[in-house]
Chain A
């Protein structure tokens, strides 16, 4: 029986253009702009300076407050500058600029060959932290924090998020097809770290090849492959838990509160690489696609590769571009510059043609309630957007569970008035955060 969730939408999946294309290897870019700010929280602090020689896999930035993750050099070469360059998520952000020497030499001590079975959980968490592994689904949350829950929270199930519900993207799908063994190994490693006995791999039923391959590979292991209905946002972690285990994460709580851990397939491959071969997270699979891209591809791109290099590799554009989005078209971030670079969270880059973009002004809410029907978190998006418009951000938080919104964008997708509901909600969240900070620091 298909497992399903309430609400959600069915956008065109548009995955046909890249789903049978092998992961290509991008020619080595001349210059890499590696951002030290990879995920929310404090940016990491560079430990190299201009003029330093770096090797592939060498540590170039360290966490400032111990909660972040380190960043490593994606290739060998020379650090020419540490300066502010476009970041796909945070505007301009400090980057370590590395001029490649074309040799791509690994640092000594990497590429080991050890077995995960002999390592203890604590050792493996340390390895994962040192290799800068983050969640590669899109939020880039540090994996070592997810894998070390507080003592009083008992985790009994691991869910591997392979739904890839975002339209256009096929990077997780290709990872599953081409690195199936690594993904399974990563799953086993994480299961050992968390001490769980049961693992699930949730895959949407529009990827039958991946489902049959994973089922075959999981034989004899304590991992079950679950077929899910193709629906957006099936890949949100709370939706995965609801669909697979029929458990609901309580308001304001985390998956660990219902004894679950959710990991993306990409991160599991990175975990396997880090634990067995000691390879830091320096490259990832990126889907470069869209109707205006000449040859859409899945490509293994190094962190810090400018988007222009990726589009050049695809043979450039045909027709006029409306916008370029980093991530999936539903939750991704529209870019202001093609000089932005691949970060650890870049699962895809989608170009939207100009006739597909709707730039009309938003209208008033007509209270049709479509957003309420599709909201998978069972919130009232129309009320939240109106409260935000009127500046009542605190009311939204206290009375309408503002913080439970996962910003999946279904409400905006169905809104007949084209209201920027998600943006209103994000505005409320940002303003409440500003207020909290003001209270904390005691300023006026």
Chain B
């Protein structure tokens, strides 16, 4: 009796399996969706960081877009750099365009000792949250709040919060995906070419006197750099120095502006070399 029941059950399951199996194989032939095999090939090539730096939600979405849409350039994957762009161009048959390597750059030098804090912040440790509360606890309304939202969002471990309260970029790890740029509530982080020397380490568009009141290390818009630059690469816009990096790279070999700058806002800001920005090596 028991054996019979078991046999019936097994037969019934096999029968159902066969019916559904035939149906699925039939459906697979009859209503198959044509997928361009190149999409999977591109997806294989991409680094699968799912960072979204290309502007698409994930690597697969970009692979689909770059294969199906002829207007999507093959060099959007910033973490993949040159090699991936080449391969994607090969697969899609698009023209390989040179990829500009860029890395994130934090435009603020208002460390704890230099920039004043106007209040005690006892909220959620997150820059967006701090910013919605009366604009955060920093005197400067343009400066870095230092709660590390960008550090948390970086999936390549390229951003570290220095003990001085300003995030530092590791150029070896930064892929230029731009994720930190989008989350920063004060738009402090930008993407720049890594070889650039002269960078403005300030984002404040306040008048010089107000900047001085809030921060010892801010750009006061004095114009010394603009006057000293022989190539006219620097302009002062809204009390903030703006550097045209193309002119800098092409013509200038000995930047005088960095020496002239009274608050030393113009400086290279290289990982581990700038005073106050040293980050200790983590123990493995």
Contact = CB atoms under 8 A, between A and B. Distances in A.
Contacts of B32: none
A1 interface: no
Interface in A86-101: 87-92
A434 interface: yes
A438 interface: yes
Interface stretch (B80-88, B117-125, B254-262): B117-125
Interface in B158-190: 178, 182
Nearest to B122: A359
Given A91-B141, A359-B120, A333 B133 contact: yes
A444 B55 CA distance: 5
A102 B26 CA distance: 91
Given A92-B141, A336-B118, A431 B128 contact: yes
B187 to A, nearest CB: 12
B124 A427 contact: yes
Contacts of A87: 134
A90 B135 CA distance: 7
A110 to B, nearest CB: 34
Contacts of B123: 420, 423
B126 interface: yes
A434 B153 CA distance: 15
A336 B126 contact: no
Interface residues of A, number: 25
A333 B134 contact: yes
A337 interface: yes
Contact of B128 (A92, A389, A430, A444): A430
Contact of A90 (B119, B128, B134, B137): B134
Contact of B129 (A430, A438, A443): A430
A424 B119 CA distance: 20
Nearest to B53: A444
B265 to A, nearest CB: 21
A427 B126 contact: yes
B119 A334 contact: yes
A338 to B, nearest CB: 11
A444 B134 contact: no
A423 B119 contact: no
A423 B134 contact: no
Contact of A444 (B122, B124, B132, B178): B178
A277 interface: no
Nearest to B56: A444
Given A427-B124, A438-B182, A92 B119 contact: no
Contacts of A91: 134-136, 141
A394 interface: no
A294 to B, nearest CB: 23
A335 B137 CA distance: 10
B191 to A, nearest CB: 12
Interface string A327-341: 000000111110000
Interface in A66-110: 87-92
Contacts of B134: 87-91, 333-336
B73 interface: no
A333 B133 CA distance: 8
A426 interface: yes
Contacts of B141: 91-92
Contacts of A388: 124
Nearest to B179: A444
B135 A444 contact: no
Interface string A106-117: 000000000000
Contact of B132 (A334, A430, A438, A443): A430
A335 B120 CA distance: 10
A359 B123 CA distance: 10
Interface string B103-142: 0000000000000001110111010110011111100010
Given A91-B136, A334-B134, A444-B52, 8 more contacts: A90-B134, A91-B134, A92-B135, A336-B118, A359-B122, A420-B122, A427-B126, A444-B178
Interface of B: 52-53, 55, 118-120, 122-124, 126, 128-129, 132-137, 141, 178, 182
10 contacts: A92-B141, A334-B133, A336-B118, A336-B134, A420-B124, A423-B129, A424-B129, A431-B128, A434-B128, A444-B178
6 smallest A-B Cβ distances: which pairs?
A91-B135, A336-B119, A427-B129, A444-B55, A336-B118, A423-B123
